[in-house]
C-alpha cells in the first residue's frame, strides 16, 4: 500500500491499467533521448530509429511465434480492435456482410460492429452468454450463416473476468473459412501463452499498459496472407495498414513488456489467486452482494459483484474514501452511470446492473491489502444501502462477516 494525501492507497484496478515497469521505462529511454528521429526519414538519425522499430517488431514476433510482417503497431487496444473489425469487414464484404460477436465484448468491439450494421449495410448477430458470462462454442456455431465473414470474441472479459473458449471458437471459424478476431487485451500477461497461434485467430488485438507497459502503445496480429483495409490514411506506415509516424518510445516499451511479461505471465496466479479467493469468500459472505462471473474460468486476479439496492458511484466513492481503488467495469466507461451491458447480458436486473464493482489484483498487492478490503467493504456497502433507503424509503440490510 502507498500513502496518498494521508490515506493509505490499496490499488485494485489492474484491469484498467498497470504501473509502468522500471525495466520497460529504461527500454524506452533511447527513443526519448538520442534516437529521436522519424523512422521514415532516410538520414542516419531516422534510420537509427528505423532499426529500433524493426528490432521491436522482431522481438514481439519472436514471443508470438509469428512473422514480423504479421505484427502491426497501433496506439492501443481500441485502435487495434477498430482496425481488426472495420478493416476485416470492409476487405471481405464481397464475400458476405454478416458479422457475429457477443454481448460480453468491450465497447470498442461492439460499437465498431454496430457502426458497420448501422452505416455500411452489414448485419450483426450478438451471441448471449450464460449467467456466468460464458459464451459457448455451440451458440457461436448456431449464429453462423453462409454469408458470415467475421466473428469477434473477447479472450477474457474485462468487467467480470470470464475466460472464453476462443481456441475452440477459432477452430470452428477456421473450418468454416470465416475470419476470426480475438480481443486479447486482458489475456496477455494474465493467462498462459505459448504462441499467438493458440487462439486459432486471424486477428488478435492487444495493448501494453495492461501488463506494465506504456499507455499509447498497442498491436494487432494479422495472419498472413489476410489483407485488411486501413482505417487511417496519410502514409504507408505499418505495411500500408496504419498511417502515422510510429510512437517509437512507446513501441520500445511495448516490445520490452511483451518480452518480459507475456510468455511468463506477470500476473502470477500462484500469488494472486489466494488473494482473489479471499475476496470471493468475502463477497459471498455479504447477503446483499452477488458475485458476477465464472467461479473457475475467470482471470486469476478478478472478482466482480453487484449490490442490490445500491449503485456503483456510491460504492466506489465509499471505497475511495477508505483508500481503495476499484472500478465499475470498463475504465473506458468511468464516470458513466449507465448500467453494465455485460452484467445485464448475464441476467442481472436493471437495478443490479447499476451496481457493479470490480476488484482486479496485481503484482504490487499483498495479503494485507485484501485484509483492508475485508475490514472495510461490509461497512461501505451498509452505508450505501442506508443512503439508498433514505432516498427511496426501501428497507435494506446487510450483515458483514
Per residue in 57-82, pLDDT (tens digit) is 999 999 999 999 999 999 999 999 99
Phi, psi at residue 322, to the nearest 5°?
-90, 5
How far apart (Å, rounded) are the C-alpha atoms in residues 234 and 240?
Answer: 10
Confidence class of residue 157 from pLDDT cuts 50, 70 and 90? Answer: very high
- pLDDT of 221 > 90? The answer is yes
How far is Cα of residue 313 from the mean position of the Cα atoms in its chain? 22
- Using DSSP, state whether 98 is helix, strand or coil: strand
Q: Are 245 and 334 in contact (CB under 8 A)?
A: no
**Parts of the chain belonging to CATH 3.40.640.10:** 22-261
* Angle at which helices 248-261 and 22-32 cross, to 10°: 150
Question: C-alpha distances in angstroms, 190 versus 31, 58, 146, 186, 389?
Answer: 28, 22, 36, 7, 40
pLDDT of residue 236: 80
- pLDDT of 159 > 90? The answer is yes
Confidence class of residue 384 from pLDDT cuts 50, 70 and 90? Answer: very high
Q: How far apart are the first and last CA of the chain?
A: 23
pLDDT of residue 5: 54
- The grid coordinates of residue 123 equal 448485419
Confidence class of residue 395 from pLDDT cuts 50, 70 and 90? Answer: very low
In the predicted model, what is the mean pLDDT of residues 295-311? 96
Question: C-alpha distances in angstroms, 56 versus 13, 73, 151, 312, 394?
Answer: 28, 10, 29, 40, 58
Q: Is the Cα torsion angle 312, 7, 16, 362 positive or negative in sign?
A: negative
- pLDDT of 378 > 70? The answer is yes
Residue in 4, 5, 66, 332 annotated catalytic: 332
Concerning whether 179 is annotated as a catalytic residue, the answer is: no
- The grid coordinates of residue 48 equal 537509427
Q: State the DSSP code for 393.
A: -
CB neighbours of residue 204 within 10 Å: 31
In the predicted model, what is the mean pLDDT of residues 80-85? 98
Mean pLDDT of the chain: 92
pLDDT of residue 397: 47
Q: Which residue has the cell 452505416?
A: 119
Please report how many Cα atoms fall inside a 13 Å half-sphere around the Cα of residue 316, on the Cβ side. 23
**Comparison of pLDDT for 39 and 24, the residue scoring more:** 24
How far apart (Å, rounded) are the C-alpha atoms in residues 224 and 5?
Answer: 51
Q: Are 96 and 189 in contact (CB under 8 A)?
A: no
How far apart (Å, rounded) are the C-alpha atoms in residues 188 and 73?
Answer: 16
- pLDDT of 86 > 80? The answer is yes
**Parts of the chain belonging to CATH 3.90.1150.10:** 2-18+267-392
Tens of pLDDT, residue by residue over 347-358, are: 999 989 999 999
In the predicted model, what is the mean pLDDT of residues 166-179? 98
- pLDDT of 303 > 60? The answer is yes
The answer as to CATH 3.40.640.10 being correct for domain 22-261 is: yes
pLDDT of residue 4: 52
- pLDDT of 177 > 60? The answer is yes
- The grid coordinates of residue 242 equal 496504419
Q: Which residues contact 206 (CB under 8 A, 6 or more apart)?
A: 77, 80, 184, 185, 187, 188, 218, 219, 220, 221
In the predicted model, what is the mean pLDDT of residues 316-330? 91
Topology of domain 2-18+267-392, per CATH? Answer: 3.90.1150
Amino acid at each position: 500500500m502507498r500513502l496518498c494525501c494521508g490515506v493509505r492507497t490499496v490499488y485494485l484496478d489492474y484491469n484498467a491499467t498497470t504501473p509502468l515497469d522500471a525495466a520497460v521505462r529504461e527500454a524506452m529511454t533511447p527513443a526519448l533521448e538520442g534516437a529521436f528521429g522519424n523512422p521514415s526519414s532516410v538520414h542516419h538519425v531516422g534510420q537509427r530509429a528505423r532499426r529500433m522499430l524493426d528490432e521491436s517488431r522482431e522481438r514481439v514476433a519472436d514471443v508470438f511465434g509469428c512473422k514480423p510482417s504479421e505484427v502491426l503497431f497501433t496506439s492501443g487496444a481500441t485502435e487495434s480492435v477498430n482496425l481488426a473489425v472495420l478493416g476485416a469487414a470492409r476487405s471481405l464484404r464481397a464475400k458476405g456482410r454478416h458479422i457475429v460477436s457477443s454481448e460480453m465484448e468491450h465497447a470498442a468491439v461492439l460499437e465498431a460492429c454496430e457502426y458497420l450494421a448501422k452505416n455500411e449495410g452489414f448485419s450483426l448477430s450478438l451471441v448471449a452468454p450464460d449467467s456466468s458470462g460464458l459464451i459457448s462454442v455451440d451458440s457461436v456455431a448456431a449464429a453462423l450463416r453462409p454469408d458470415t465473414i467475421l466473428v469477434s470474441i473477447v479472450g477474457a472479459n474485462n468487467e467480470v473476468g470470464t475466460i472464453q473458449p476462443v481456441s475452440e471458437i477459432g477452430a470452428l471459424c477456421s473450418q468454416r473459412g470465416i475470419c476470426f478476431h480475438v480481443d486479447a487485451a486482458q489475456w496477455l500477461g494474465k493467462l498462459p501463452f505459448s504462441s499467438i497461434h493458440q487462439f486459432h485467430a486471424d486477428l488478435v488485438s492487444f495493448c501494453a499498459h495492461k501488463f506494465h507497459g506504456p499507455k499509447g502503445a498497442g498491436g494487432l496480429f494479422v495472419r498472413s496472407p489476410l489483407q485488411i483495409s486501413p482505417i487511417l490514411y496519410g502514409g504507408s506506415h505499418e505495411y500500408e495498414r496504419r498511417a502515422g509516424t510510429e510512437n517509437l518510445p512507446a513501441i520500445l516499451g511495448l516490445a520490452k513488456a511483451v518480452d518480459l511479461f507475456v510468455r511468463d505471465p506477470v500476473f502470477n496466479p500462484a500469488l494472486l489467486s489466494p488473494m482473489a479467493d479471499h475476496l470471493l469468500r468475502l463477497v459471498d459472505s455479504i447477503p446483499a452482494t452477488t458475485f458476477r462471473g465464472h467461479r473457475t474460468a475467470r482471470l486469476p486476479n478478478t472478482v466482480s459483484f453487484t449490490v442490490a439496492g445500491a449503485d456503483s458511484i456510491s460504492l466506489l466513492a465509499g471505497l475511495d474514501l477508505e483508500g481503495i481503488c476499484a472500478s465499475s467495469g470498463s475504465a473506458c466507461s468511468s464516470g458513466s452511470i449507465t448500467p453494465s451491458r455485460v452484467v445485464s447480458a448475464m441476467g442481472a436486473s436493471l437495478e443490479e446492473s447499476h451496481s457493479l464493482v470490480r476488484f482486479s489484483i496485481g503484482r504490487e498487492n499483498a495479503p494485507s491489502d485484501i485484509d483492508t478490503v475485508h475490514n472495510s467493504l461490509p461497512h461501505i456497502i451498509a452505508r450505501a444501502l442506508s443512503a439508498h433507503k433514505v432516498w427511496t424509503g426501501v428497507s435494506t440490510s446487510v450483515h458483514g462477516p
